[in-house]
Amino acid sequence: MAEELDRISLTLPPAMIERLDGIIEDWDYASRSEAVRDALRDFFTTYDWEAGGEGEQFGTIVLLHDHHSTDIADRLQAVQHEKTDLIVSVQHIHLSHDQCLESITVEGPHDEISELANNLRSVQGVQQVKVVVLGG
């Protein structure tokens, strides 16, 4: 059974319509409606995260760090071991002789994921941290 849909009208400047249509063609969307629905799902997820998010959140914490920073692997693991209940998986990638990227998949409450990201940011040698959340 198909999901019931309500129709709305959307007024946009011509430049935005042109850009939207270009993205629809490039990404092979079936229609403007499909593209707007997809964009709104991302908008709602971002809003929920920024508002403090209720319930379980799903996402990834991505961090870039200096491979040669003293004991950084041990310090990062120590932070992660404090939050093993949130961490689903960890992937470590050697980008170059000097830099590594870690991708930490997480599931749990907003506040705990945010705390983990902040604890990782505070480790000396960590150069950048990004939290990417997806709707559940």
Q: What is the pLDDT of residues 50-79, one digit of tens each?
A: 888 777 889 999 999 998 888 999 999 999
Report, in angstroms and rounded to the nearest whole number, the Rg of the chain calculated over CA atoms. Answer: 19
Q: What is the rounded distance in angstroms from the CA atom of residue 13 to the CA atom of residue 17? A: 7
86 in the same domain as 115: yes
State the residue range of the domain holding 23.
Answer: 14-50
Please determine, for residue 22, whether its predicted confidence score (pLDDT) is greater than 70: yes
Tally the domains of the chain.
2
Q: Is residue 7 part of a domain?
A: no
5 in a structural domain: no
- Flag whether 113 is in a domain: yes
pTM above 0.85, yes or no: no
Give residue-wise pLDDT tens across range 120-129. 999 999 999 9
